[in-house]
Amino acid sequence: MNEEVKELMNKLKECLVDLDKECVLNLVKKLLEKNVSAIEIVLGPLSEAMEEIGKLYEDGEYFIAELMEAAEIFKEAMKILEPLIKSESAKMRGRKKMRIVIGTVKGDIHDIGKTLVAVMLQAAGHEVIDLGVDVDSKTFIEAIEKYKPDIVAMSALLTTTARYMCEIIRDIEKAGLRDKVKIIVGGAATTKEFAEKIGADGWSANAIEAVKLVNKLSAEKDEAHE
Ligand code: B1M
């Protein structure tokens, strides 16, 4: 990455932290003109800015109104970036098309990261059924019975709702469906250790890693059938 691009990326992060929508959209366009990948823009400065905004909220410098405004600006930037993210993700095809049911778990309405993961998985050639946000275990179970997915993917950004993932996995077990699906989790409130502890089959830190994880599970499934 050359110095000019580095500077533009830093400026983009600053503009989003400052909630300057016009500046964000202009810099996104400028970076694309410089051939920076859309995935790099979204997972780099835009995501880093959202983390920073979260810290400002924790410190009492920003309030819910600012978090909402940041989410709106992020979504505006996504309107420019999404078509390019799709074409970039299309280069990451898995061995076998997987059917994935995805949702943000009960009590949690954060949808930006989950939607990004869903968009990239779909563009990478997988079939994605997005259950939206605030999804309880009954809805996940009904979706497993209805769509017979290979994978259930759960997202949680709140520490409180991440705990609910454990309950969902237990309910899937109780319904006798655990051996029918792989369960993967992600979102800022989760870690690899947490995923292992609750008995998930995989965890990913971001959307690109989520595509790699699904592709790995897809290759394993393909090999098992050979
Ligand atoms: Co909220 N919020 N928020 N928020 N919010 C966080 C999550 C927080 C960390 C901020 C902070 O204090 N630092 C904090 C949670 C603290 C905690 O529990 N540990 C918090 C809080 C406290 C709250 C409320 C409780 C505030 C309140 O009302 N008092 C409230 C809860 C509402 C609810 O859900 N019930 C709330 C509300 C909101 C808004 C609605 C205002 C808004 C969300 C708007 C929306 O989503 N439509 C909002 C926002 C914007 C944030 C922050 C600032 C940004 C989240 C985001 O969009 N990031 C966030 C700060 C932070 O995350 N550090 C914060 C960008 C996005 C691209 O990243 O979602 O992490 P992310 O997704 C990544 C990866 O995590 C991963 O891939 C994605 C892309 O790379 N990933 C997966 C995500 N899901 C995956 C699933 C997978 C795999 C990977 O499946 C396998």
Q: Is the CB of 202 under 6 A from ligand 1?
A: no
- DSSP letters spanning 109-124: ---HHHHHHHHHHHHT
Domain end position, chosen among 34, 64, 90: 90
Separation of alpha carbons 99 and 58, rounded Å: 37
Residues 213 and 182 placed together within one structural domain of the fold: yes
Ligand 1 atom showing the smallest separation from residue 203 Cα: 91
Residues 52 and 138 placed together within one structural domain of the fold: no
Ligand 1 atom showing the smallest separation from residue 190 Cα: 75
Q: Is the pLDDT of residue 1 over 80?
A: no
- Tell me the residue range of the domain where 216 lies: 93-225
Residues 115 and 195 placed together within one structural domain of the fold: yes
Mean pLDDT of the 14-26 span:
98
Q: Is the pLDDT of residue 221 over 90?
A: no
Q: Is the CB of 116 under 6 A from ligand 1?
A: yes
At 169 the pLDDT is 98
Residues 111 and 170 placed together within one structural domain of the fold: yes
CATH number at residue 213: 3.40.50.280
**In percent, how much of the chain has pLDDT > 70?**
100
pTM above 0.75, yes or no: yes
Domain end position, chosen among 90, 113, 130: 90
Mean pLDDT of the 27-38 span:
97
Mean pLDDT of the 195-220 span:
96
